[in-house]
Structure 1
Amino acid sequence: MKIVHFTSVHHVYDTRITFKECSTLQNYGHDVRLIAAHDKNELINGIQVIGVGKGSSRRLTRMLFTTIRVFRECLRQDADIYHYHDPELMPIGLLLKILGKRVIYDVHEDVPRDIFSKGWIPDWLKKPVSLSVEAIERFVSKRMDAIIPATPFIAERFRTYNPHTYEIQNFPLLDELISHEGSKIKEHNNIAYIGSISEVRGIKDTIECLEQLNRIMPVNLLLGGNFSPPELLDQVRQLSGWKFVDYRGRVDREQFREIMSQSKLGLVVLHPEPNFIMSQPNKLFEYMSAGVPVLASDFPLWKQIVEGNQCGLCIPPMKPHLMANAIRYVLEHPEEAQRMGENGRQAAVTHYNWEPEGHKLNELYEQLMKPKFDNRNKRNRKQLTADSG
């Protein structure tokens, strides 16, 4: 098959899109292309990336002009299946369906709930925007060939719109982040957070926690990712606890592995936002796959994963003193911390890894193309019958 994934928002190094889905389909023998808001055409991990130019930092400009360039490139590629990753591309997905294409919508986030965490949307406008987005998702999704939600919770909603909903969970590549040298080089009290950095993801709480901890023992935060909004970086740099932060900026997968090898604990202490409570944050499973203990918010689903697998601790979010107490406990009990890390790794090996998800993804593609292959075979049989006659 010729397969085109396309995005106007995600980076070309997005782990789910490029290194999991596209690479997996390529490994199954398909011709896979990725159209993205990138400044050039290049091969990334063996995937042909087709850049349509970097999108504008202004949302409305990007949603208009970048999506038009993406659509034009989609038509030029003339693929067997199109697979898109952003809510703003739903009109493009609908247009491709009208033109007779097979189209998949990949739902990374619970977007209607995510609206309530967007600081740039006025509070009075969030509910009507959320309801509008949900209505548009319902309308478009009914017309897609398949929906691929990233979590069971999102899948439950989309199955009411489209029976061809197949959850492909965003579990980690099993051996990508594990370091066999970790026990030798974890000499310092480093804790880690890798991912999108925002106030609702607990960055200010974490820095306040660091200040409290360092009155008792030296602890540093290895921090990787982009700040949202960008000006938040200037704000947190003014906090007194920032001096205990080693900020690495956006990190690639090799740098992620290096940070994990140097860290004794991974943080995922998000605020109780509607989009977070029932989410399955990728970083949680990545910490587990790297054999690093986890400190997570005590949302029921997260407690079930973390405490159920005895791979870390859960605390009420937005309470820096409780975070400090939990971190101190892990650092002062190295043998128990090691068991937590080993338990998390074993859970990743047994349950939470990408290999079965990738297999499900390829099976879905094969099912979508089966009618086309069957029709082609029927035509070939008719032609052979006519020729023999």
Structure 2
Amino acid sequence: MKIVHFTSVHHVYDTRITFKECSTLQNYGHDVRLIAAHDKNELINGIQVIGVGKGSSRRLTRMLFTTIRVFRECLRQDADIYHYHDPELMPIGLLLKILGKRVIYDVHEDVPRDIFSKGWIPDWLKKPVSLSVEAIERFVSKRMDAIIPATPFIAERFRTYNPHTYEIQNFPLLDELISHEGSKIKEHNNIAYIGSISEVRGIKDTIECLEQLNRIMPVNLLLGGNFSPPELLDQVRQLSGWKFVDYRGRVDREQFREIMSQSKLGLVVLHPEPNFIMSQPNKLFEYMSAGIPVLASDFPLWKQIIEGNQCGLCIPPMKPHLMANAIRYVLEHPEEAQRMGENGRQAAVTHYNWEPEGHKLNELYEQLMKPKFDNRNKRNRKQLTADSG
């Protein structure tokens, strides 16, 4: 089976796309290609990446010209199944369906809710944009062969649009982040945050918390990821607590594991934005799989996971003094911290890991290639042609 994944936004080293979904399907024996806004063709983790050129930093330019280049390459590949990962590629998904292709929409985020966290959209415009995006998603999703949401909350909405909706949750690869050095004693009071770095993801709160903590005890933040927007990095460098930050930039998976081996606690202290409250952040489960305690915002779903598995602490977000108190407690109670880390690791082993998700993904692909699907695909194509006419 020839499979093409395509994205105009995500990096070619995206964990869900390249290292989980594409690699899993390749391991099942399929011929997998990844089309992306990348500057060259190359093999990454055994996956053939087809670069269509770097995307523009200007959103509208990228959404127009990069998506056209991606579409042309999709046609050239002539795959059995196409699988796309960005909302801006929904028109490409529709065009491929009109041409009779099998198409999957992979929904990473709750995009209509995510609109309210976008600083570049004026506040007065966010609600109408959100409603418009949701209407477009509804129209397009009804015409896709399958929808793959990353969380149960997102899946609940898409099942009302398309019964062929299958949750493929973004749980970690089980042994990817656990230290190869066993239970090595961590000498320094390092805490970690790896992921997209922004104000709504708590970076300023965390730096203020570090300043408070270091009046009492030495604590450093090992920080990895890209700043959004990029100019935020210059702003936070002016904060007095920045001197306690070891900023590593964008980190690969090996560097991620190294940071985990050096850290006593992982942070997920996001603000209560609509898109965050019911999300399942990758880093939460990655910290658990690495065997370190978690400090997270006290959103109900997150509390259920963390307190239910006794693998960390939850605090109200946007309160640096409470964050400082919780971090100090974990660092001053190493035996309890070790139990939290072990509990998180055990929860990852028994429930929150990629292996069963990858199996479900391959089963879906096998179903889409069965003869009974061909009849449904022909009916959908007739409907699409009628709609477009």
TM range (shorter): over 0.9
Distance 1:325 1:65, change over 3 A: same
Q: Structure 1 residues 338, 137: closer, same or farther in 2, change over 3 A?
A: same
Alignment identity in percent? 99
Work out the CA distance in 2 between the residues paired with 1:374 and 1:352.
34
- CA 1:385 to 1:336, structure 2 compared with 1: closer, same or farther past 3 Å? closer
Deviations 1:9-43 (A, max 9, x none): 00000000000000000000000000000000000
Kindly indicate whether the alpha-carbon contact (under 8 Å) linking 2:145 and 2:377 is maintained by their aligned counterparts in 1.
Answer: no
Equivalent pairs, count? 389
Corresponding residue for residue 204 of structure 1 = 204
Deviations 1:157-209 (A, max 9, x none): 00000000000000000000001425325110000000000000000000000
Assess if the C-alpha contact under 8 Å between 1:306 and 1:312 holds in 2: yes
Q: Deviations over 1:262-286 (max 9, x none)?
A: 0000000000000000000000000
* Residue matched to 1:122: 122
Question: Higher mean Cα deviation, 373-382 or 266-275?
Answer: 373-382
Provide the rounded CA distance (Å) in 2 between the counterparts of 1:216 and 1:385.
Answer: 68
- Contact 1:260/1:287, CA 8 A, preserved across alignment: yes
Q: Gaps spanning 5+ residues in structure 2: where?
A: none
Instruction: Compute the displacement of 1:380 (Å).
Output: 25
Could you say what secondary structure the match of 1:307 adopts? helix
Task: Kindly report which structure 2 residues correspond to 1:2-21, keeping only aligned pairs within 5 A, or say none.
Answer: 2-21=2-21
Q: Does the C-alpha gap of structure 1 residues 81 and 211 become closer, same or farther in structure 2, counting only changes over 3 Å?
A: same
Displacement after TM superposition at 1:101 (Å): 0.2
Give CA-to-partner distance per residue, 1:51-80, whole Å, 9 cap, x none: 000000000000000000000000000000
- Contact 1:178–1:289 (CA under 8 A) maintained in structure 2: yes
Residue pair 2:6, 2:82 contacting (<8 A) in 1 also = yes
- 1:91 aligns with 91
Deviates more, 1:73-82 or 1:179-188: 179-188
Task: Please give the residue correspondences for 1:102-141 in structure 2 after superposition, counting only pairs within 5 Å.
Answer: 102-141=102-141
Secondary structure of 1:228's counterpart equals coil
CA contact (8 A) 1:185 1:261 kept: no
- Checking the alignment, whether the CA contact within 8 Å between 2:32 and 2:47 is kept in structure 1 is yes
1:371 Cα deviation from its structure 2 partner: 1.7
Q: How far apart are 1:374 and its partner, in Å?
A: 8.2
- CA change 1:186–1:72 in 2 (3 A) is same
Residues in 2 aligned to 1:242 and 1:101: alpha-carbon distance in whole angstroms: 51
Counterparts of 2:245 and 2:373, CA distance in 1: 56
Aligned to 1:291: 291
Residue pair 2:33, 2:50 contacting (<8 A) in 1 also:
yes
- Rounded to whole Å, the distance in 2 between the matches of 1:324 and 1:220 is 12
**What is the aligned-residue RMSD (CA, Å)?**
5.6
Distance 1:376 1:136, change over 3 A: closer
Tell me by how many angstroms 1:384 deviates.
Answer: 35
Mapped to 1, the partners of 2:253 and 2:33 lie a distance apart of 21
> Does the residue aligned with 2:97 lie in a helix, a strand or coil?
helix
SS of structure 1 residue aligned to 2:56: coil
Unaligned runs of 5+ in 1: none
1:292 and 1:379 map into 2 onto residues whose CA distance is 51
Cα distance in structure 1, aligned partners of 2:347 and 2:81? 34
How far 1:345 moved relative to its partner? 0.1
8 Å contact from structure 2 (residues 82, 104) kept in 1:
yes
Change (3 A) 1:237 1:38: same
Cα contact 2:38–2:53 (8 A) shared by 1: yes
Distance change in 2, residues 1:378/1:246 (3 Å): closer
Residues 76, 215 of structure 1: alpha-carbon distance in 2 compared, 3 angstrom cutoff: same
- Tell me the alpha carbon deviations over residues 226-261 of structure 1, each in whole angstroms, 9 at most, x when there is no partner: 000000000000000000000000000000000000
* Inter-CA distance 378–88: structure 2 relative to 1 (3 Å threshold): closer
Q: What is the CA–CA distance in structure 2 between the aligned matches of 1:123 and 1:63, rounded to whole Å?
A: 22
Which residue in 2 is equivalent to 1:159? 159
Decide whether the 8 Å contact of 2:103 with 2:145 is kept in 1.
yes
Matched-pair contact (CA < 8 Å) for 1:297–1:316: yes
Task: Quote the offset at 1:373 in angstroms.
Answer: 9.1
Which residue in 2 is equivalent to 1:186?
186
Partner SS for 1:266: strand
The answer on whether the counterparts of 2:97 and 2:384 sit within 8 Å (CA) in structure 1 is no
